[in-house]
Every structure is written in structure tokens, then in C-alpha cells.
Amino acid sequence: MTALTKLATVEVKLLAREPGSIVSMLIPLFVLLVFGSSIQPGDTTLLPMTLAMSVGLVGLYLLPTTLASYRERGILRRMSTTPVRPYTLLVVQLTLQLVLVVIACALLVSVAGSVIGAHVPGAALPLAAALTLGVAAMFSVGLLIAALAKTGRSANGVGVLLYFPMAYLAGLIQPVDQMPALVARIGEYTPLGAFRQVLGQVWTGQSPSLTLLVVLAGYAVLIGTAAAKFFRWE
Amino acid sequence: MAIIEVTDLRKSYGQLSVLEGVSFSVAEGEIFGILGPNGAGKTTTVECVEGLRKPDGGTIRVLGLDPATDGRALREQVGVQLQHTQLPDTIKVWEALDLYAAFYSRPRDWRELLEQWGLADKRNARFGKLSGGQKQRLFIALALIGNPRVAFLDELTTGLDPQARRTTWELIKQVRDSGVTVVLVSHFMDEVEELCDRVAVVDRGRVVALDTPAGLVDGLDAAHEIRFTLMAACDPVALLADLPGVAEVTVTADRVVVSGRGDFATAVTAQLARHHVLVSDLRIDKRTLDDAFVALTGRSL
């Protein structure tokens, strides 16, 4: 147990020293504050957008970069020569990044609710379901990048390269109603797009579309399985 | 008593056969060297012994345990320094030592290791800011943090300056003197000659020789030379050609070159002294581990 506690403590410190973790927290917050001044009270669009953005940044950028660089640097291999198994490090990292996402979302929701006066939904269960499946889908994409990328740098590159088209298709860069109809239609079924829509439904008080929840779960299972299959310890 | 026993170790990667029956044993308390050219199978051998790789055939016993099945118990008693490993750039020296100490049930005090390996003033430095030598010393300290009975050190001094290499060698001797058995993988002759009690020379997946470094050199049956300048006229050919071990005596003006095998140099110098022949500028080609290596593997490093 002491090994696990110590590992978690050190990894928290390392994550806090990593500029990427701060950036992925601050970019959505920045977007929220800049556009927050021009929204109507009770707005139901901006906050879910920034939440999707935050989960997308951590899942596509921070998570794969960290894990791929741990493998590239031989840290997992070095650990496998000690009594502690290297998967412990992966589990600790994954947990910490989840905690980071939760903190980032909580920060966004509390700032949006208090300072900006955006709508915060009261239905906890649909919100929890949407967030859980959305995070699972985005993290599995991140894990697949980590599994396939040879170096931390290339994982970083692929993550950033994937983030922008995915964010565009999800309607995070340009409003969906201004996008070509076909592109918007495709975007609805991308992981980030499905996630944003489900969040939007929760925010406007609808029950989230079962189809989209199944799409998100499907992404999580399929991509997650592929990530597990392709993952190499060294 | 043998602390490591490796018998007929075999390993191939696909079609490529890397180890073709490697056998050796390491005695408790010695520094055992594994020497060989790049790609000879040195690292694969130690990685099988460390339990990082599964061999295709043969048996391995480390402290009486099989790395493939008793890995957990074994890893408590074994320390490893791997080639090409890094730590996260932002981790501090003390944090790395403190973390790795927590992985073992009976770790050493990391503050002591920090002192011993000259890292005390780098305690709060981040890994990414350390010099090559400091990083290497940290990796050795990490290999010893679990209070191991055996330490595996792979390419210990690669990338270190000559001064840092000497310092590292002295520290490795101290490690051995403290009772830890050391297995050293190296392709540096001077390092092996200086440190190792015994050496296995590995080439093309086989152990081609196993002896003390001096034993390897002595076993070398290759011609070498002794040269000197005559200070007074005499006939060196008549004097030296029939001595045991001498193959050839060539004279160019007053410069004499005697070539031969075995310990013929003693016979030559004794004969010169007996006949009161004064010579100057006497040179004996010292045979080194390099020569032994070339003779064993047919190539130099």
C-alpha cells in the first residue's frame, strides 16, 4: 500500500509540474470567460461546449503524451524489474487524469454557474451518465494513441492533430448550424460530437438520446479494446 | 556457491537466433563480466536472467529461484540498471530514490546512497537537469536501493568522461566489497580488465570463453614481439633464435625484433643478461584483453 501511495503522490507532483495539465485546464476556462460576457443568463450552450473541450484536451492530448513518454523513456520497463508491476503506474496515471478531468469540469461548472450565470442542470443521473460515457470514449481514443505512438512527442503530435478536426466536427470551433449539413451530420457521430450533443440535451432538460449514449459506449469498448490489444510495454 | 546458474539458454526473435546455448555460473560476491560486441546477445542474456524476457529454452536459477515463475520473490533481491532508460524530466533526485525505496520491503536508506554516490548536493535537482554522469550514478543508486544481493549493471560507464569512469569503478568495487554480487555487461575492455573477477566472452549467441581477465590474456596463443637496440656489436640471431618460444629474430642495423609465443620475453632478457649484452630502448608488446578478444571472436570491438 505504501508503494501505491508513494507512487500516487509522486505522480500528482509530476502532473502538477507538467505545463500540459495546466494548459488543458485553462484553455476551456479561458474560452468560458471570454465568451461568457456575451451569453444570455441561463445559457445552455457554452458550458457543455467547454466541458467537452476540457475532456477532449485531457483525453486526446495529456493522457497519450504522458503514457507514451513513460514507455519511450523505459520507465515502465525499469519498473518491471522491481517488485511493483508496471501496470500499477498506468492505473495510477489513468486515475489521476480522471481526477484532473473531474476537477476541470467542477471548476468550469462552478465558474459558469456563479460568475457568468449560465444554466447548471439539476438532473444528476443523466449528467453523470453523459460525462462517464463521454470521458470513457475520449480516454479510449487517448489510450489508443498512447498504444500506437512510438514516442511521447509523436503521441503529442497525433493528439493535437486529432483534437482540432474532432473539435470542429463536434461543433466546438464553429456552431453546428453554420457548418455544411453533411459535415454536421457526420460530426454528430464522432466521439466528441456525440459527447457534446448528449451534454447539450442534458443542459436543455431533455433526456439524453439513447442512440448517442450507445454510440459513446461503443467507441469506449471498441477503441479501448484496440488500445489494450496494441499496447506494448516497451 | 553459485548465485546465478544459467544452462543452455536459447532465445530467438522470429527467424533470428540470438542465444544458442549460453551457459555460465556466477559465484557469490564476485564481479562477473559479460563481454561481447554489439549484437552478440549480452543484453538478451541478462534480460532473461533478470526475468524481463522469457527464454525459448534452457534453465536459469538466480538465488535458487526461476525468474520466469518466482519473479516477485526474485525482484525483491535483485537490483537492475538498464541501458537506455530515463526518468521523467521533472522528477527530483530524492523523489526518485524515495519512490523506488517504497517498492521494496527492506530498502536501504536512500540518504546514505545519495551521499555515497556523490549526489547529496543534487538532492533537489530535477532529473532533466542532471549531467550524464549524475544520471548514471542515480541509476546505479536506484539499482542498489532495494538492498539487493545481486546487481545487474548494463553498460555502466557509456557516455561518461574518463574521470567519472574511474570514480564509478571505485564505487563498484565498494559495492562488491559490501557483499553484493555484481553482473556487469560491457563492451569496454579496460573496464572489464579493471573490475571483473571473471568474464564470459559472448559472441554470436554463445559463450566463447570464460576465465579471469588475466587468464583470458594468458590463454592467448598469438605471436607478439620484443624489441631493443644493441649498444655493442654482437650476433643476436645466434644468441636468441634457439630459445624456447622464439619464432623469429630480425635485425635491422642495431635494432632487433624478436617475435614468439608464450612467455619467451623472460627467456630473451635472461639470455641477454647472461651474455652481458647491453641493450637500450627495450619494449615488450603487452598483450591485452583486446588481443584475447580479437583472437576469440575474430574481430575487434
Residue-by-residue pLDDT tens, chain B, 301 positions: 789 999 999 999 988 899 999 999 999 999 999 998 888 899 999 999 999 999 999 999 999 999 989 988 999 999 999 988 899 999 999 999 999 999 999 999 999 999 999 999 999 999 999 988 899 899 999 999 999 999 999 988 877 888 888 888 999 999 999 999 999 998 888 899 899 999 999 999 999 999 998 888 877 766 778 899 988 878 888 888 888 888 888 888 888 999 888 778 888 888 888 988 888 888 887 777 777 887 787 776 6
Task: Of A47-51, A230-234, B175-179, give the lowest mean pLDDT range.
Answer: A230-234
The answer to the question of residue B99 being in a domain is yes
Q: Report the amino acid identity of residue B197.
A: D
Of the listed ranges A159-163, A173-177, B33-37, B180-184, the least confidently predicted one is A173-177
A70 interfacial to chain B (CB closer than 8 Å): yes
* Chain A residues near residue B82 by CB distance under 8 angstroms: 74, 77-78, 81
Among B179, B197, B218, the domain-final residue is B218
Q: Which three cell numbers stand for residue B300?
A: 575487434
Question: Do both B98 and B188 map to the same domain?
Answer: yes
Question: Is B131 contained in some domain?
Answer: yes
Question: For residue B188, what is its C-alpha cell?
Answer: 569496454
Q: Which of A7, A70, A74 sits opposite B99 (nearest CB)?
A: A7
Residue B299 lies in a domain: no
Nearest to B75 among A3, A17, A83 (CB): A83
Question: Is the complex ipTM more than 0.95?
Answer: no
* Total domain count, chain B: 2
C-alpha cell at A159: 493528439
Cβ B21 vs Cβ B10: under 8 Å: yes
Q: Distance (Å) from the C-alpha of residue A90 to the closest C-alpha of chain B?
A: 14
> Do B122 and B159 fall into the same domain?
yes
C-alpha B195/C-alpha B33 separation (Å) is: 8
Q: Residue B140 is part of which domain span? A: 2-218
Contacts 24+ apart (CB under 8 A), A147-153: A147/A226, A147/A227, A147/A228, A147/A229, A147/A230, A147/A231, A147/A232, A148/A230, A149/A64, A149/A68, A150/A68, A150/A72, A151/A68, A151/A69, A151/A72, A152/A65, A152/A66, A152/A68, A152/A69, A152/A70, A152/A72, A152/A73, A153/A69
Query: Has residue B24 been placed in a domain?
Result: yes
Identify the pLDDT of residue B132: 86
pLDDT tens string A5-42: 999 999 999 999 988 778 878 899 999 999 888 888 77
Return all residues near A194 (Cβ < 8 A) that are at least 6 apart: A134, A137, A188, A212, A215, A216, A219
Report which of A92, A112, A96 is spatially closest to residue A29, judged by C-alpha positions.
A112
Rounded Cα distance between A226 and A16, Å, is: 30
Pairwise CB contact (< 8 Å): B102 & A2: yes
Q: B240 with B213, same domain?
A: no
Mutate which of B74, B75, B77, B183 to disrupt the A interface (most A C-beta within 10 Å)? B75
pLDDT at residue number A1: 56
Residue A19 contacts B where some CB pair is shorter than 8 Å: no
Q: Which CATH number does the domain housing residue B281 bear?
A: 3.30.70.100
Q: Are residues B214 and B233 in the same domain?
A: no
